[in-house]
Amino acid sequence: MFSKIFTMQIIPVFRVFDYNKTIEFYVNWLGCSISWEHRPDNSPFYLRMSLRGLVFDLSEHHGECSPGARFSIADFEGLQQYHEELLSKNYSYNRPGLERVEWAADTLEMTVTDPFSNRIIFNEKVKDFNTISPSAIALLFTKSFTQIPFMKEAVKRLHALPDSTEKTPMFHARVQHFEDRYYSIDRMLQPTGITNILELSSGYSFRGLDLANKRAVHYIDTDLDDVISRKLQFINHLQQGPLKGQLQLTPLNALDATQFETIIDSFPEGPVAIVNEGLLMYLNMEEKQLLADIIHKMLMKRGGCWITADIYIPSPLDAHKVYTQRQQKFMNFHKVEENKFASFDAAKNFFEDAGFTITKDSQEEINFRETWLLKTK
């Protein structure tokens, strides 16, 4: 015995009040079409609307429903383009944002509010950048306030979270910190004249793209496999025209000596500059030692230098820092404070014992972080 299958449809109803304002919002701005309307003289009106086949009703009738309702439209294809179209119409009473929702990093969402406080929420699952963690999104958002190359463009592609999620009393200090750290590596790299460059754990930084745009370098940009696969999508959008140099994105676990040597051997002849920022703070002392041993071996083999902007020590201000809940969770999970060097002298002893000589960035005036250029003894 088979059950009969019924095809049914749920039709939401919004309470509205003014016909002209209703048409201005739903037809002229959102682009809905009127399927039919009932509008007798001196009586409330009733409209049936359609948007891409989605049907909903608008009623001026008392007792039909209350204003301030909402409904959601899932899987709205081409939401970013639709959002841009709405903004281009310069509707005076609504300028909706477009952002990734906190509960699903692969979902874009836009909310519009009609003149009667009814809301429609549009969302779309996006195929690109869909597994970037909220921490990486927040970091990109922060860096978009710096002059670091491609950060602003990357955030536009990413639809980073709004200002209110990130702007704490520390916000501007963090912006300056990330900018100083980034450019300290460039300052120390440029005078070496080395064109074979390997960046470790680069994350969503685009130093390689910037340098390959400017000069004939052979730049290998590395991180874990999932980061590199997503970063390639960024590069495809950010790169404009042919590069002067060569840029290669390759997965690498920096603590895997075999992988490391394979990548080093792929460079053309000549010395290699190994650079990193934001790596050592995630490694305990045993892991730091392993990384230092691997890099020392590679530089003995090829010549060159190691430039690290990761010489962090505890700061007297640490006790007074105020983190967002997400930032604190991130710091605790990665044991960032525990992984800092006890002092600059302790860091100096560590690298000298590992077989390196040290040159410091003379332009830095920071009491809790330094950038060092290391060479084998």
Residue 266 amino acid letter: S
- pLDDT, residue 62, reads 86
CA distances from 137 to 14, 169, 225, 314 (A): 36, 19, 18, 26
Which pLDDT tens digit goes with each residue over 173-209?
888 899 999 999 999 999 999 999 999 999 889 999 9
Name the residue among 134, 189, 181 with its Cα closest to residue 159.
Answer: 134
- Give every residue of the chain whose pLDDT is below 50, as ranges: 128-131, 161-165
- pLDDT, residue 157, reads 77
- pLDDT, residue 130, reads 42
- pLDDT, residue 9, reads 86
